Structure 1
Amino acid sequence: MDETSAAETDPGIYTLPRTDVSQDQGSFRTHFNFPGRALPGHGDHGYGPLATVVESFMDPGTLIRMHEHRDEEIISWVPDGVMRHDDRRDNVLVTDADHLLVMNAGEGFWHAEETRRDDPPLRMLQIFVRPHSLDLEPGIQHERIPDPTPNEWRHLFGPEGGDAPLYVRNEAECYDCRLSAGATAALPGRPEWDTYLYVFEGSVELGDAELGHTESALVTGDGAVPVTATEDATLVAFAVDPDAPITRRGTIGR
Structure 2
Amino acid sequence: MDDSLPARTQPRIHTAPRTDVSQDQGKFRIHFNFPGRAVPDHDDHGYGPLATVVESFMDPGTFIRMHQHRNEEIVSWVPDGVMRHDDRQDNALVTDPEHLMVMNAGSGFWHSEETLADDPPLRMLQIFVRPHSLDLEPGIQHEPIPDPVPNEWRHLFGPEGTDAPLSVRNDVDCHDCRLEADATTTLPSRSGWHTYLYVFDGAVDVGEESVGYTESALVTDESEVPVTATEDSTVVAFTINPDAPVTRQGTIGR
Q: Give the TM-score normalised by structure 1.
A: 0.96
Deviation at 1:189, TM superposition (A): 1.2
Name 1:114's counterpart in structure 2: 114
Quick check: 2:11–2:223 contact (8 Å CA) kept in 1?
A: no
Aligned residues: 245
Deviation digits for residues 55-82 of structure 1 (CA, Å, limit 9, x no counterpart)? 0000000000000000000000000000
Letter in 1 for 2:45: H
Deviation at 1:94, TM superposition (A): 0.2
1:135-174 equivalence runs, <5 A? 135-174=135-174
Name 1:183's counterpart in structure 2: 183
d(CA) in 1 for partners of 2:36, 2:110: 28
- Share of identical aligned residues, percent? 76
Letter in 1 for 2:69: H
1:236 paired with 2:254, answer: no
SS at match of 1:231: coil
TM superposition outliers: structure 1 runs of 4+ over 2 Å: none
SS at match of 1:37: helix
d(CA) in 1 for partners of 2:72, 2:192: 24
Name 1:105's counterpart in structure 2: 105
d(CA) in 2 for partners of 1:139, 1:253: 17
Higher CA-based Rg: 2
Quick check: 2:55–2:126 contact (8 Å CA) kept in 1?
A: yes
Which runs of no fewer than 5 residues in structure 1 stay unpaired?
1-9
d(CA) in 2 for partners of 1:207, 1:59: 36
Q: Give the TM-score normalised by structure 2.
A: 0.96
Deviation at 1:190, TM superposition (A): 0.4
Name 1:71's counterpart in structure 2: 71
Quick check: 2:201–2:213 contact (8 Å CA) kept in 1?
A: yes
Letter in 2 for 1:118: D
Name 2:13's counterpart in structure 1: 13
d(CA) in 2 for partners of 1:229, 1:36: 24
Name 2:30's counterpart in structure 1: 30
d(CA) in 2 for partners of 1:215, 1:221: 20
d(CA) in 1 for partners of 2:163, 2:148: 17
Name 1:220's counterpart in structure 2: 220
Deviation digits for residues 22-77 of structure 1 (CA, Å, limit 9, x no counterpart)? 00000000000000000111100000000000000000000000000000000000
